Structure 1
Amino acid sequence: MLRRRAEPDDLVPASLEAGPVRMDVDRHVVTVQGEQVPLPLKEFEPARAC
């Protein structure tokens, strides 16, 4: 029987939150205590394995 493997995009939640920091991965928006923090799109690219 074949097993379905999760695609890498399926493993990343739409938004991440840690304390006052919130990152909306789909919209490429980061907020700290409700204030938007400008970041370059490069910061939203997935990390590559070494």
Structure 2
Amino acid sequence: MYPLRLLFKSKAWYLESLCTDKNDYRLYDEFPLDLITKSTDGSYTLSVYLPIDHWA
């Protein structure tokens, strides 16, 4: 799993990732705002734990 970008759309945050096992993209949503921080350069960082195992 490789996180690619953090998106904001329709009042919600989404994380787009690349799943190397399935060679496909995944989109995750509903992150609490306290996990998202804005950097001085205007970019955003999401602090979240992504388990290393096979996802359904």
Scaled by the length of structure 2, the TM-score of the pair is 0.29
Larger helix share, 1 or 2: 1
Give the structure, 1 or 2, with the largest relative contact order (CA under 8 Å, sep 6 or more): 2
- TM-score w.r.t. the length of structure 1 is 0.31
Question: Larger C-alpha radius of gyration, 1 or 2?
Answer: 1
